[in-house]
């Protein structure tokens, strides 16, 4: 009896996780990965650091090469092979390579096509406009900065990639303006945390303009462009980085009859199974469940992609793994300032139907006499139940490691009354005797009138 064939569409985080997990569980399975780009299995979260020069060589971001997967894991990785159609009735995909097209049969299929930069702004096809969502784009931006030495830059989008891109441009002595269409950087950031982020950007010469939706990018003098935003306001730039977010690549799946969810990404169950038999989806093309709201959510992060890919690959190989969902944990660094958030902001929590309250405190990351730095912590709680709904932290140190405590508490559906009694580690080099998270929790208990 011939071995089953697993075909994986997409060869970055989710796709290669799926292929690797399937191989471990089923040594006999034939596994083919089809990747339309030139690279697989690389650290997308390090791309902005390649642009800045912190990461010196693109090879440093590559975890494994296609040759490694072929030789060591018996996975047939085909770069430069783009799937142009899925035919579920025949259980085959149509593939276009450099000099040929062919049909490839599958027994199991994993959709891991990822996400694409949201490029609905007219004029972003101009030569000095770049994205930083894949290795090719990051290399193009880095080479442009080194060769052309632009003086003025605009980053369109104030999410974590946008702020990292802005910092990368400053490393090349570019004067940078960040344009963000909403009223906060890092979507959903609470005002008390956002103030520190804005202050840090300004300290390093970066101007952030909020409520600044970009209308178009028009040609300017010489090789510059005019970035038009708001009610006909303009900025001149020699380089523009588009970081307006990620849209799931779902057109191929939708044409094949794969059901999309309310987020616009592919709907799956907790086994990463789509509505089509033997077809799974994972990563930036798929939605998942938010563990705080219980509803669908689209969280295009590498951590989510790798976990979903592992589950999809295990089930495609005959296993029964499950992915419960996420709480939306994000960590970044803005010129040395750690910024972290998880769960819901106060605004998002109220929109989801919770009776949400927020409390912000300022404390020290560790004992003052051992160099403790200011740390700001915000907790979002439900007044009715006392349940933790979200949290955010910012500071020179200690924010990134503490957000994991909050993420764990959210996954466990902990209440404030539970949380304040957590036995967190203490020693003066690492934290104050009352951890800032516990201090914030006590203040939140006071605010909602639940002293227990």
Q: Which residues belong to the active site?
A: 45
Residue pair 9/93 in contact by the 8 Å Cβ criterion: yes
How far apart CA 208 and CA 199 sit, in angstroms, is 10
Q: Which two tokens stand for residue 336?
A: 């040395």
247 CB contacts (<8 Å, ≥6 apart)?
115, 116, 117, 118, 264
- What is the rounded distance in angstroms from the CA atom of residue 120 to the CA atom of residue 425? 48
Closest CA to 249 of 145, 338, 134, 139: 134
Structure-block tokens of residue 24 = 């471990």
Query: What is the β-pairing status of strands 206-209 and 115-117?
Result: unpaired
Residues in the chain: 452
| Contact call for residues 284 and 292 (beta carbons, < 8 A) | no
Nearest-angstrom CA–CA distance, 76 and 321: 24
Q: Buried b / exposed e across 56-95, counting CB within 10 Å, b at 16+? A: eebeebeebbbeebeeebebebbbebbbeebebeebbbeb
CB atoms within 10 A of CB 17: 26
152-156 vs 175-179, strand pairing mode: parallel
């Amino acid at each position: 009896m011939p071995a089953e064939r697993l075909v994986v569409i997409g060869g970055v985080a989710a796709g290669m996780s799926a292929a690797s997990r399937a191989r471990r569980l089923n040594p006999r399975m034939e596994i083919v990965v089809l990747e339309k780009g030139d690279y697989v299995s690389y650290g997308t979260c390090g791309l902005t650091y390649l642009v800045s020069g912190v990461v010196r060589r693109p090879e440093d971001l590559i975890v494994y090469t296609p040759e490694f997967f072929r030789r060591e894991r018996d996975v047939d990785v085909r770069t430069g092979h783009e799937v142009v159609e899925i035919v579920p009735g025949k259980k085959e995909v149509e593939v276009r390579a450099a000099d040929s097209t062919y049909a490839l049969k599958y027994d199991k299929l994993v959709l891991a096509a990822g996400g694409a930069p949201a490029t609905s702004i007219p004029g972003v096809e101009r030569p000095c406009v770049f994205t930083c969502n894949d290795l090719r784009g990051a290399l193009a931006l880095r080479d442009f900065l080194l060769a052309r030495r632009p003086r003025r830059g605009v980053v369109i989008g104030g999410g974590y990639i946008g702020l990292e891109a802005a910092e990368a441009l400053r490393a090349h002595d570019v004067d940078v303006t960040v344009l963000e269409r909403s009223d906060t950087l890092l979507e959903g950031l609470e005002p008390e945390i956002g103030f520190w982020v804005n202050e840090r950007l300004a300290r390093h010469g970066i101007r952030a303009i909020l409520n600044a939706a970009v209308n178009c990018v028009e040609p300017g003098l010489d090789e510059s462009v005019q970035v038009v935003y708001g009610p006909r306001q303009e900025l001149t730039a020699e380089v523009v980085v588009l970081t307006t977010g990620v849209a799931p690549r779902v057109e191929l799946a939708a044409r094949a009859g794969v059901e999309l969810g309310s987020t616009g990404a592919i709907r799956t169950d907790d086994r990463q199974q789509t509505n089509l038999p033997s077809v799974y989806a994972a990563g930036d093309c798929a939605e998942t469940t938010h563990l705080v709201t219980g509803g669908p959510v689209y969280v295009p992060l590498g951590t989510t992609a790798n976990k979903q890919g592992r589950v999809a690959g295990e089930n495609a190989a005959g296993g029964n793994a499950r992915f419960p969902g996420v709480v939306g944990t994000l960590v970044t660094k803005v010129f040395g300032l750690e910024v972290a958030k998880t769960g819901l902001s106060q605004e998002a929590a109220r929109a989801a139907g919770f009776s949400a309250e927020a409390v912000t405190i300022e404390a020290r990351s560790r004992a003052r006499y051992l160099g403790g730095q200011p740390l700001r912590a915000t907790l979002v709680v439900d007044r009715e139940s006392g349940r933790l709904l979200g949290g955010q932290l910012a500071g020179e140190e200690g924010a990134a490691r503490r957000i994991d405590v909050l993420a764990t508490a959210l996954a466990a559906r902990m209440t404030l009354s539970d949380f304040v009694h957590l036995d967190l580690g203490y020693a003066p080099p690492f934290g104050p005797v009352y951890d800032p998270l516990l201090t914030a929790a006590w203040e939140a208990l006071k605010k909602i009138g639940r002293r227990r």
